[in-house]
Amino acid sequence: MKIAVLSSIAWRTPPENYGPWEQVASGVAEGMVNAGHDVTLFASRNSLTSGKLSAVIDTPYGDDAAADAKVNECLHISNLMERAADFDIIHNHYDFLPLTFSRLIKTPVVTTIHGFSSPLIIPVYKKYNENASYVSISNANRSGELEYIATVYNGIDIHNFSFVESPGDYLLFFGRIHPDKGTAEAIAIAAAAGLPLVIAGLIQDHEYWHQKIKPSIDNQQVTYIGNCGPKERDTVLGNALALLHPINFDEPFGLSVAESMCAGTPVIAYNRGAMPELIVDAKTGFLVSNVESAVAAVKKLGSIDRRSCRRHVETNFSQDKMIEDYLKVYQQILFH
């Protein structure tokens, strides 16, 4: 099967640090190559793939302050669409904009919806309901106005995460530093639990960082270690007592949750969005509702079998499982 995987060009594919859409697109491309398919990854020129790479944009716009993101997006997406006839199927990981080409080409397009940045984008998805094939990344992140062919959970390469049986003595916040992600709540939870907190992630909301986060950083109770790459991520996730994930929005998936459990580290998360689909309450972590219940959950971490966390990811959120499920989607479209 000849497969085109359209990644984002906000960051490199796979990302050097932050970049969840790019990470999943890379996982799909590499997994399909491993499954024996002819894969072309459409991404920035500095991207890495064991398949073929097609690029017209040298530098991701997240790394280029002078770039016009819309111009780069148009050049990038049209590069694929003008070659659409070369492929049996196109797998779109670039949101709604590529859909505007979908009635102009004959090659079927699968679109993984990685979340809705705003209700304002729904009309574009609705317009292409009849000829598009939409995949949700969790059952929680579905719009009642759209038609879906499947839910396929994001998968991670489990070989990139070392299982740690005996962790350190700190709690971890790993993710975008933004009110939605609950960085300030994580600080409050760790303080009330009497444990140090390590914070890792991209500073996305600088006002929030300066007002709510930075004043708490003393490199003892609260430490910020920056926007971690894969090696640092593996170490910091595996050695944590737990990942704190007190989200303030209905998160579509949460890669760090799966990655944490893969390392054997349980997750204490607010019970919103896809969290009940990722976490088995009291088995691979705890679903909580506020700071107080999160602190109570910290005291129960000793009841969690870290090997169960790893097995849960191997069964449900591995790259192999994701590829198996996407191949079913492709076959359903091509041979229905």
Structural domain spans, the chain: 2-155+318-334, 158-316
The string of pLDDT tens digits covering residues 176-187 is 999 999 999 999
pLDDT band at 231 (very low <50, low <70, confident <90, very high): confident
Mean pLDDT across 17-43: 96
- Could you give the strand order of the β-sheet that contains 197-200, starting from the edge strand earlier in sequence? 222-224, 197-200, 171-174, 242-245, 267-270, 285-288
Q: Does residue 334 surpass a pLDDT of 90? A: yes
Mean pLDDT across 291-320: 98
The string of pLDDT tens digits covering residues 88-98 is 999 999 999 99
- Cα gap 21→1, rounded to integer Å: 23
Q: What is the CATH superfamily name and number for domain 158-316?
A: Glycogen Phosphorylase B; (3.40.50.2000)
- Cα gap 152→281, rounded to integer Å: 21
Q: Does residue 234 surpass a pLDDT of 90? A: yes
Q: Does residue 57 surpass a pLDDT of 80? A: yes
How does the average pLDDT of the chain come out, rounded?
97
Q: Does residue 336 surpass a pLDDT of 80? A: no
Architecture in CATH of 2-155+318-334: 3-Layer(aba) Sandwich (3.40)
pLDDT of residue 279: 98
- Cβ atoms of residues 93 and 114 within 8 Å: yes
DSSP 265-301: --EEEES-TTHHHH--BTTTEEEESSHHHHHHHHTTG
- Cα gap 186→198, rounded to integer Å: 10
- Cα gap 76→6, rounded to integer Å: 9
pLDDT of residue 230: 86
Q: How far is CA 130 from the centre of its chain?
A: 27
Q: Does residue 246 surpass a pLDDT of 90? A: yes
Mean pLDDT across 65-79: 96
Q: Does residue 229 surpass a pLDDT of 90? A: no
Indicate left, alpha or beta for 119 from its phi (over 0: left) and psi (-120 to 50: alpha).
Answer: alpha
Mean pLDDT across 255-283: 98
- Cα gap 93→13, rounded to integer Å: 11
The string of pLDDT tens digits covering residues 130-144 is 989 999 999 999 999
Q: Does residue 311 surpass a pLDDT of 80? A: yes
pLDDT of residue 18: 87
pLDDT of residue 75: 98
The string of pLDDT tens digits covering residues 115-130 is 998 999 999 999 999 9
Mean pLDDT across 241-260: 97
